[in-house]
Structure 1
């Protein structure tokens, strides 16, 4: 398959197209044919520059955390999705056995790893991921939107859950014009007033 990878850390031009082996899904995994992948500041840009704050990445490496696509193959024991299903992929891979995972708080798993950081990512035609990380996407949602909403939607939903918000509650979403802020405002229950950003001209 074709993939974008880097063999050394540096600016964007260290990325190169290469032909690599197509991964095979292991037990409990699915192979996703990638239709869209996002570019994140931490998980992609910082990692490519060699400044990732919490992971050691060894080139050559394929980045790409937030992605969506179509299930191309199933690993042993997978029955939650079928070949041909459209899916979005959560990039965080939890161990499933620690105290946090047992409490349903996989986002703070003691052994959390990330697709595209600790595992080969989705800057490629195919990406093998845990089946529990894929979520079916309705046909009306474009792949690019599904790729961006997988992580943003999970973070927004978690914020609302942790805050104990219910329908009718009023909340202030700071930075509501950012990707996460606008997703949170859209997800929050009830109607929310959202302030429009104002461009400030330093010359006036």
Structure 2
């Protein structure tokens, strides 16, 4: 999948951050906390949790993430934000299930979300859907499974869904970047790509 210079710079920055985090760099930890804790806190607090719960979840998330980073075969194909949120959501959903608290809301506050946030949120929820296995003890995590499915999509769908999920762009910006004449055309293509992802997932599961 071809990346733009901006995307390549973004991934280089992520790679450097992960290297420093894996080495125990305190500044790297602070950056991860600054960039991503707010998303985790918002999600946990909207789902029967407290700020203290969110802090515990984020700490556990970083522990799980660090363990994965140290594996020789680890490869980050989703954005760092998406990966960390996936682990956090996974941890908190398991906690809710153990305590039988199952009312789940979006990661972002829909009342305050603008068009771009809503557009990205729908894509994120597809990726983090509980249709994917949410048991951390299983052989593959949610994101690892998703990455397997994602790699079988057409290059156009990979590019489109990656841009929707990983970049802070409005619908209009994405529409212009991909050359769609109307917003409806963009949403239709996203719908087709999501359906393609679902078919890949169904095919993979039928072989189990």
For the superposition of Structure 1 and Structure 2, which TM-score range results when normalised by the shorter chain?
under 0.3
Bigger radius of gyration among the two? 1
Greater fraction of residues in strand: 1
